[in-house]
Amino acid sequence: MSLVKVNDEVSLYVEDTAKRSGKPVMFIHGWPLSHEMFEYQFMHLHKKGHRCIGVDLRGFGRSDKPWSGYSYETFADDIEDLMTALDLRGVTLVGFSMGGAIAMHYAAKYSSSDRISKVVFMGAAAPCFTKREGFPYGMNKSDCDGLIAQSLDDRAKMVSDFGKIFFRSKDSQSREIMDWLFAINMQASPYATVKCLEELRDADLRDDMRKISERKLPVAIFHGIKDKICPFDFAKMMNKGIEGSRLVKFDNSGHGLNIEEKEKANEELTKFVELEIPEQQT
């Protein structure tokens, strides 16, 4: 592991399996998790010889927890600083839930960069997380306001209740898995937890989605059809809006598809990472 300083002198915790003969894969976690949520993907891809880089976003996991910088804009800049510090090229960027939205904004903002070669949107909270004009999917903004209020009143209960809709059913995973995820979630800064809910509530990345489509960046969309947090309509919208994107349905998963159907997630992710891209698409 290492700590890497990014903008504002914030130190990010990075788990890096170090240089391998295979390809680099960077994972961006969801709210309010950490890189630890990708445990099964790290183990599988490392065995296949690929370099896995997991980052705890500012405010989460073992990274610094400042009192500022919880926008997709700043997160994208943090990722760019991290890519630069590690001198990465040709990365497959994997973003889960809020991390998917951050990956989308990063790919659009740094569209001329050669640092990423492919993107995987995994249960992504994109292009929008809440309903608005022209986007009738997801939560109402008032639902996010309710989560914020709960977080300020009893964050532990809010996290526990949210965990009950993370999978296709509340009994689909062991009690131990649920306890493990709860512990990861509670590492997050209370301030970051609230500010990221505000960003999820308000952000609109439809223009970013169009930029990615114009770039013709290879994109895979992994999404559980029983997702109660980021409805499958999100995946259909991204698949329609990003030319050439590949939609992979997870029929037996809710939001946490990388755990519920980890064998399929690992196999599909490996195939996409190892997919050779024609030179004109890179």
In whole angstroms, give the CA distance from residue 41 to residue 173: 17
Reduced to 3 states (helix: H, G, I; strand: E, B; else coil), residue 122 is: strand
What range does the domain containing 163 cover? 2-281
Give the pLDDT of residue 20: 66
CB 101 within 8 A of CB 78: no
**199 contacts: CB under 8 Å, gap ≥ 6:** 70, 71, 72, 98
Instruction: Indicate the SS3 state at residue 169.
Output: coil
Nearby residues of 61 by Cβ (< 8 Å), 6 or more positions away: 13, 29, 33, 34, 35, 36, 184, 187, 188
Sign of CA dihedral 218, 224, 228, 234: positive
Tokens for 262?
């980890």
* Residues belonging to the active site: 97, 227, 255
| 10-residue mean pLDDT series, the chain (282 residues) | 91 89 93 98 95 98 98 98 95 98 98 93 98 98 98 98 95 95 98 98 98 96 98 98 98 98 98 82 46
Give which of 86, 92, 69, 80 is closest to 22, Cα–Cα.
92
Q: Calculate helix-pair angle for 206-215, 98-109, nearest 10 degrees.
A: 60
* CATH number, position 120: 3.40.50.1820
Question: For 158-182, what is each residue's pLDDT tens digit?
Answer: 999 999 999 999 889 999 999 999 9
The count of domains in the chain is 1
Tokens found for residue 221: 């969309």
Give the whole-angstrom CA distance, residue 211 versus residue 109: 9
Strand partners, 51: 24
* Contact between 275 and 217 (Cβ < 8 Å): no
Cα dihedral across residues 151, 223, 75, 23: positive or negative: positive
- The predicted pLDDT at position 113 comes to 86
Residue 189: what are its φ and ψ, rounded to 5°?
-65, 135
